[in-house]
Chain A
């Protein structure tokens, strides 16, 4: 069963505006980690932000913030002040601690973001 759901195949945003990319997840493990990665057309997966299931505060990294709503199993990525270079594919991923999850990431299908000038 798919554990990470990204419902937006594509998103458009005007330069300098904020955009939210949705991610919901499903797990019965109380200890897990949530990740967002950016993948430009070059193919490299660029780590953006991480949220642990026990973290009390939402993670932030520069223009990126993660809106973590544990009860709703939601981990949306917010990009503030979009830039043209933000145009890329964005993946939400989860790592579970139990069942030998270790460093096995489960990825969503991704959201393609296009930033317009």
Chain B
């Protein structure tokens, strides 16, 4: 069974540009959540999608957005990139619709560098 796939693995972008990251969850998983990891702030929740609907959003500016497709694949977009957006972006997939009794599995992450 394939795991969570994130593409691309590495990205280098210039300030002011925009970027789109992709996440394909484990087959059958309908929940995808996104996290930003930086040395200073640690792991922070960005947003979560289930059945193409955003259910939860973290405390990030509107430049960070996402969507989920009917096949559960998800994309996140960051517009007008800033140096501080340099981070490892991780997505996690999970089976459950609600509740806390299921595992969440992560992809390998996309390392974004903004120069």
Interface range, A side: 20 to 34
The contact string, 1 if C-beta is below 8 Å from chain A, for chain B 54-92, is 011010000000000000000000000000000010101
We find that the number of chain B residues with CB closer than 8 angstroms to chain A is 29
A43 with B55: CB separation less than 8 A:
no
- Residues of chain B with a CB closer than 8 A to A93's CB: 43
Known: A44-B107, A96-B100, A110-B42. A102 touches B50 (CB 8 A): yes
B109 with A101: CB separation less than 8 A:
no
A52 with B101: CB separation less than 8 A:
yes
The contact string, 1 if C-beta is below 8 Å from chain A, for chain B 33-54, is 1010000001101001010000
Contacting residues of chain A (44-74) with chain B, CB-CB under 8 angstroms: 44-47, 50, 52-54
Among B88, B100, B102, B106, the most chain A Cβ lie within 10 Å of the Cβ of B100
